[in-house]
Structure 1
Amino acid sequence: MQSLFQILMLILDVVWFLVIAHVIMSWLINFQVLNLHQQFVAQIWYGLNRLMEPIYGPVRRILPPMQGLDLAPLVVLLGVFALRIILTNNAAFFY
């Protein structure tokens, strides 16, 4: 059971990293530090979008429209953090 706990924590760590990478890359694209006309940058961006959209989609449906401000990554990060706290506090269940 300890392996299950470690796998769940690893998955949450990967999701955390992907959300942070997606947010930072969106800022760099919006501030024109990165250019989507470069093939490598475009492939990474579209790959991250395809990975994150199934996670962001349900959150965006729940959140009210914010006039260009996307709070879905923040809500996902808070959800991941909350899940980590829940799993850590209940770690005895996995042993």
Structure 2
Amino acid sequence: MRAILDVLMVVFDLYTWLVIASAVISWLVAFNVVNTRNDVVRAIWNFLYQVTEPALRPIRSILPNLGGIDVSPIILLLIIFFIQRVIVLYIYPAVI
């Protein structure tokens, strides 16, 4: 059971980095630092969008419109960190 929890923690860590990368690349595209006409940038953008959007869409539907500010990645990261802390503090010590 601990092996499953360890794999789950690694998956959460990887997904955290994907959410951060998605937010950073969205800022770079919004400020015209990178061009989405480039095939490599478009491929990375599409991959990150397809991986993170299913988790971000329900959060965006709940949050009110804040203008041009998207705080849904921050909310998702807080949820991931909360789940990780629950696993580390409560579930992991109970597993023998």
Q: Which TM-score applies when normalising by structure 2?
A: 0.92
Q: Is the 8 A contact 1:34 1:41 kept in 2?
A: yes
Name 2:32's counterpart in structure 1: 32
What is the 5 A alignment of 1:1-95?
Answer: 1-90=1-90, 91-95=92-96
How many pairs does the alignment contain? 95
Structure 1 gaps, min length 5: none
Identity among equivalent pairs (%):
33
Q: Which TM-score applies when normalising by structure 1?
A: 0.93
Structure 2 gaps, min length 5: none
CA shift digits 1:26-84 (9 cap, x unpaired): 11112222110101101110111111110001111111111121111000010111111
- Measured in 2, the distance between the counterparts of 1:62 and 1:71 equals 11
DSSP 3-state at the match of 1:23: helix
Which structure 1 residue ranges, 4+ long, deviate > 2 Å from structure 2? Answer: none
DSSP 3-state at the match of 2:32: coil
- Measured in 2, the distance between the counterparts of 1:16 and 1:94 equals 25
